[in-house]
Amino acid sequence: MKLLSFEINGQPSFGLLQQQSVLDLKLKLNGKYADLKSLLNEADYLDIVAGVATAAADYSLHEIQFAPVIPNPRQIFCIGLNYADHVKETQREVTEKPMIFMRVAPSQVGHAQPLLKPIETEFVDYEGEIAIIIGTGSRRISKAVEIEIDKIGILSNTVRTELKSYSINNSAPSTLNRNESHE
């Protein structure tokens, strides 16, 4: 099941990908959920989607404008320097604990949407990322909890593109937020 957020005629919505078409879940569920995040907060969201999944698609992919999967996340946490090649490439050292930083929601873009170069830099780099969408039942998870998706609240995963400016990052090495959160 592939869920997405999108705009149609300038109006935000969310849906279910069906081949090369989109079933508008906001429409099919009579506006009960304002956005994909509110639907995903329902414990039985899979059943809710399955209940309308056989309906005819509403739009072709060419008619919509993709939005970030969750356009309005509460928080975006990132883990940096999490693979050896990247550590070597950036001439840093492997750390015992992960480098954790945050991004701001407006720094996200939807699939096939332009990435805008920050005016503060001449050079930007991009990389692919795996994003994990975590639900509401995932606060203060004990290390003793066996990792099962339904216990820790991992709702989904997706692929993201990140745009960064190392020149901005190197001018303020104590934080990555300036580097990672361009709107």
Task: Using pLDDT thresholds of 50, 70 and 90, give the confidence band for residue 170.
Answer: low
Question: What average pLDDT score do residues 92-104 get?
Answer: 82
Q: Look at residue 171 in the predicted model and tell me its pLDDT.
A: 54
* Domain final position from 66, 101, 116: 66
Q: Half-sphere exposure of residue 147, counting CA atoms within 13 Å on the CB side?
A: 2
Task: Using pLDDT thresholds of 50, 70 and 90, give the confidence band for residue 132.
Answer: confident
Domain that holds residue 87: 76-160
One domain for residues 54 and 111: no
Of residues 160 and 39, the one with the higher pLDDT is 39
One domain for residues 51 and 119: no
User: Which residue from 179, 164, 180, 61 is spatially nearest to 111, judged by alpha carbons?
Assistant: 61
* Domain final position from 66, 97, 112: 66
Q: Look at residue 146 in the predicted model and tell me its pLDDT.
A: 47
The reported pTM is 0.78
One domain for residues 114 and 155: yes
Residue 115 lies in a domain: yes
Residue 171 lies in a domain: no
Task: Using pLDDT thresholds of 50, 70 and 90, give the confidence band for residue 10.
Answer: very high
One domain for residues 100 and 27: no
d(CA 156, CA 106): 20
Instruction: Measure the CA angle with vertex 38, ends 133 and 4; round to 5°.
Output: 55
- Indicate if the pLDDT at residue 175 is higher than 90: no
pLDDT tens digits, one per residue of 30-86:
999 999 999 998 989 999 999 999 999 999 999 999 999 999 988 888 887 777 887
One domain for residues 108 and 84: yes
Provide Rg for the chain, Cα atoms.
Answer: 19
* Domain final position from 21, 36, 66: 66
Residue 178 lies in a domain: no
Of residues 127 and 116, the one with the higher pLDDT is 116
Residue 169 lies in a domain: no
One domain for residues 85 and 152: yes
Q: Look at residue 103 in the predicted model and tell me its pLDDT.
A: 83
- Indicate if the pLDDT at residue 100 is higher than 50: yes
Task: Decide: 124 and 164 in contact? Cβ < 8 Å.
Answer: yes
Number of domains in the chain: 2
Task: Using pLDDT thresholds of 50, 70 and 90, give the confidence band for residue 131.
Answer: confident
d(CA 31, CA 105): 23
One domain for residues 112 and 54: no
d(CA 158, CA 95): 26
One domain for residues 84 and 10: no
